[in-house]
Copies of this chain bind each other. A is one copy, B any other.
């Protein structure tokens, strides 16, 4: 009896999957990331790396933990994501006044790269949202922000 899925089981699975925010977020994330990465390829800066660099520029010498929090990312993940950017000389990892923390800085080369990539970024953005109502876009962004903060609050590692 346990090794078959009844019609009812299948229906519940279909329903749960169709309304699953996790699944649908991930799915959308993949498709949209591919589009942005493709659009930004000429600038040599994938979407995620752009987000990190800009995050550093906006936060003014953040620590790894601080930036990770802002990006809802695990610090260990961000720590590794910094490598390729550091290798390419787009950012610098400096020891802070408190020796245990590292301060992140965008280099001059990093700034040039950001400026080069910005138009491609904005263009991808515009292209994707062209047919979207502006207020719907705002609503979606607000909903994403709420989901992020709710999820973070509810998780054990809050």
- A145 CA to B132 CA in the complex, in Å? 13
A2 to chain B, nearest CB (A): 5
CA distance A98 to B114 in the complex (A): 48
Q: How far is the CB of A13 from chain B (nearest CB, A)?
A: 5
Check if A19 sits within 8 Å of B137, measured CB to CB: yes
A52 and chain B: residue at smallest CB distance: B23
Is the beta-carbon distance between A127 and B141 smaller than 8 angstroms?
A: no
A152 touches B (CB below 8 Å): yes
Q: How far is the CB of A82 from chain B (nearest CB, A)?
A: 16
Query: When A73-B30, A115-B9 are in contact, do A16 and B122 touch as well, CB less than 8 Å?
Result: yes
Taking beta carbons and an 8 Å cutoff, which residues of A are in contact with B?
A: 2-5, 9-10, 12-14, 16-36, 38, 47-48, 51, 54-55, 57-58, 71-74, 108, 111-112, 114-115, 118, 121-122, 124-125, 127-129, 131-132, 136-137, 139-141, 143-152, 154-157
In the complex, 29 of the A-B residue pairs with CB atoms within 8 angstroms, ordered by the A residue number, are A2-B108, A2-B112, A3-B111, A9-B115, A10-B58, A13-B57, A13-B58, A13-B114, A14-B58, A21-B32, A21-B125, A21-B128, A22-B36, A23-B47, A25-B29, A25-B33, A25-B144, A26-B29, A26-B48, A27-B71, A28-B145, A30-B72, A31-B155, A34-B151, A38-B155, A38-B156, A128-B154, A136-B143, A140-B143
